[in-house]
């Protein structure tokens, strides 16, 4: 059935339009949840993939920061898939978390909430250590 859909002109265009509207709406919700948190929500890259940039305040401890982020996500039951066989350039001042916006609203919003909470807690801890 999916293979035949592109041959059904208007139905196919309607499906693409609905999917695009869903992704745009969800991206706007993600941006709204992230406001004022320190994290940055990127624009959608290829129609449904986007990213969230989580800042790290102690740039000297990238591996520990990343481990703390992953542990925080695990403790909040937020699934994270690591690209174990892929190597990406990284910046010690932030971590990029990719999102597939062609997903349920509650999954994306909850993921953004977890990352904003992590960012706020990390910022508070950083301020305590500085004072």
Domain that holds residue 74: 5-130
Domain count within the chain? 1
Q: Are 12 and 6 in contact (CB under 8 A)?
A: yes
Question: 118: domain CATH number?
Answer: 3.90.1150
Task: Specify the residue for token string 């001042």.
Answer: 93
End-to-end CA distance of the chain: 62
Rounded CA-CA distance 68/66 in Å is 5
pLDDT tens digits for 22-63? 888 899 999 999 998 889 998 887 778 888 899 988 878 888
CB 55 within 8 A of CB 78: no
Tokens at residue 80, please?
A: 């994270």
Residue 112 tokens read as 């953004």
Q: What pLDDT, on a 0 to 100 scale, did the predictor assign at position 68? A: 92
């Amino acid at each position: 059935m999916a293979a035949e859909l592109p041959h059904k002109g208007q139905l196919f265009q309607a499906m693409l339009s609905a999917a695009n509207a869903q992704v745009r709406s969800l991206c706007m919700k993600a941006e709204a949840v992230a406001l004022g948190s320190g994290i940055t929500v990127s624009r959608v890259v290829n129609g449904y993939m986007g990213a969230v940039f989580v800042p790290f305040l102690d740039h000297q401890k990238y591996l520990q920061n990343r481990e703390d982020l992953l542990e925080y996500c695990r403790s909040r039951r937020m699934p994270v898939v690591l690209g174990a066989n892929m190597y990406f350039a990284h910046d010690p001042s932030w971590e990029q978390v990719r999102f597939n916006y062609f997903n349920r609203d509650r999954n994306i919003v909850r993921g953004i909430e977890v990352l904003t909470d992590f960012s706020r807690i990390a910022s508070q801890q950083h301020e305590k250590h500085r004072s």
